Amino acid sequence: MSSHKLPISSMTGEAEVAVLAVIRACQLTKSVQNTLTVDEKVTKPDKSPVTVGDLAAQSLISLHLLDSFPEDKIVGEEDTTELRQNNGLRAKVVDLVNEGFGKGRAEAGAWSEGKTFSESEILSAIDAGSDVGGGTGRLWTIDPIDGTLGFLRKEQYAVCLALIVDGQVELGVLACPNLGTNSVDDETKGVLFLARKGEGSWSRPIESPEYKQLSLPASIPSSSIRFLESVESGHSAHGIQARIGALLGVPENTSLRMDSQAKYGCLGRGEGGAYLRIPTKYMGGKAYEEKIWDHASGSLLISESGGICTDMHGEPLDFSQGRTLKSNDGVVAAGRDMHAKVLEAVKQAVAEAQTGKL
């Protein structure tokens, strides 16, 4: 492999492996999404869905990391609980992982092209992602399919991989096979985002290594804002977010609702103006700790594009706390000048919700 096409000057080895693994995982998940049947969806103990695509993609990415960086820790979303009880599911995952290495689609001569992995290697690679996380040393975090619900609806999802060193996100890769390459409306689909701490952020088509530097405007007029928010009303408080929009003078019903960290990708390249994730507990929902793999790549992408990404109280996201962002509450991301205004509106809207005024 050669790194000459990467736009970054440090951690090129890590970026090269991460980009290759994510591109291969995208190819795998795309083929699964095209042919997915309902019996390939399994419900996890927390009632959330997982598919053969999630499990195979986590294994494939982990195999790359285990080969290149065997000393590093891995925090992956998925584990093998379901796989070990379901022979059909396990066989399908093994086939998918090996197919993912079978063709030189990502790059000619890429690592392990054509190699076959055994069932136990494939399962161990998934379980390698069971680290507890924390604030010391090098840690990769994988969300093999972020937005599984969007993936099942044949809508947006993202394959996400980030490197966290001593609690700081150093490198983030995020690929969205169904997102417009240059804008949400672009008919050409498939975009990969890359961010390197202190160096910047870029997007490229998944299929070709032509990197374009990203920048997020410091502020945009309220009339042009379209909040980036979850499709799922159980993942963020849509009602409070609508009130935040009203307080800021954002036109009604203009939110860009999409699943996954694709939202961060859009914001990072200047679309939407603000990302909101106000916890549903402020509207009577259950308390929830955000997972590090849902925000590591996206938050670095925002800060490296010139924006600010914090929790809803303006605190930095703290990736040193383990597998979750347990010291944070919700997420707000926006351009450099806009962010403080959004936080003010968040404060007011949440206070209204808590005093029953919403």
Give contact residues for ligand A3P (rule: CB under 6 A).
48, 77, 143, 146-148, 230, 232, 234-235, 259-260, 288, 291, 294
Q: Which of 54, 127, 259, 311 is flagged as catalytic?
A: 54
What are the contacts of 238-241 at 24+ separation with CB within 8 A?
A: 239/283, 239/353, 239/358, 240/278, 240/282, 240/283, 240/349, 240/350, 240/353, 240/358, 241/276, 241/278, 241/349
Contact 41, 82 (CB under 8 A): no
Nearer to ligand A3P, 4 or 286 (CB): 286
Interaction between residue 259 and Mg ion (CB under 5 A)? no
Nearer to ligand A3P, 113 or 131 (CB): 131
CB of 129 to ligand A3P, least distance (A): 13
* Residue 181 C-beta-side C-alpha neighbours within 13 Å: 13
Nearest-angstrom CA–CA distance, 120 and 63: 12
Interaction between residue 290 and Mg ion (CB under 5 A)? no
Q: Which stretch binds Mg ion (CB under 5 A): 141-149, 177-185, 194-202, 241-249?
A: 141-149
Q: Is 129 helix (H, G, I), strand (E, B) or coil?
A: coil
Interaction between residue 77 and Mg ion (CB under 5 A)? yes
Q: Is 48 helix (H, G, I), strand (E, B) or coil?
A: coil
232 binds, among Mg ion, ligand A3P, none (CB under 5 to 8 A by kind): ligand A3P
Is residue 54 part of the annotated active site? The answer reads yes
Is residue 148 part of the annotated active site? The answer reads yes
Element (H, E) at 264: helix 262-268
Element (H, E) at 317: none
271 binds, among ligand A3P, Mg ion, none (CB under 5 to 8 A by kind): none
141 binds, among ligand A3P, Mg ion, none (CB under 5 to 8 A by kind): none
304 binds, among ligand A3P, Mg ion, none (CB under 5 to 8 A by kind): none
- Residue that is written with structure tokens 């998918």 in the block: 96
x/- letters, 29..48, toward Mg ion (CB under 5 A): -------------------x
Active site residues: 54, 148
